[in-house]
Amino acid sequence: MPDGEGQRTIAKCISCGSAYAAEKWPDGTIQPIGTRDGCQCGATEFQVVERSEDTVLDGVNE
């Protein structure tokens, strides 16, 4: 895992689209929280999910 402090975010697998709570590190690395081997589909590349005004988060009121 990269040195420094990561920023918590939501990321999705670029292969299958599964979403994970993740940390984005200063060097650009995105690592799902709680898993070291990547996605359940076997892929290891992720992209940050951009949040829009119409994003619905279950159980979260803003």
Number of structural domains found in the chain: 1
Which residue bears the tokens 């990269």? 2
- Is residue 18 assigned to a domain? yes
Output the pTM of the full model.
Answer: 0.68
Residue 1: inside a domain: no
Provide the domain limits for residue 29: 7-41
Q: Note down pLDDT in tens along the chain; length 62 residues.
A: 555 588 999 999 999 999 999 999 999 999 999 888 899 999 999 999 987 655 555 555 44
Evaluate whether residue 47 is within a structural domain.
Answer: no
- Is 52 a domain residue? no
User: DSSP letters along the chain, please?
Assistant: --SS-PEEEEEEETTT--EEEEEE-TTS-EEETT-SS--TTS---EEEPPP-TT---TT---
Sign of CA dihedral 50, 26, 21, 13: positive
Residue 20 belongs to some domain of the structure: yes
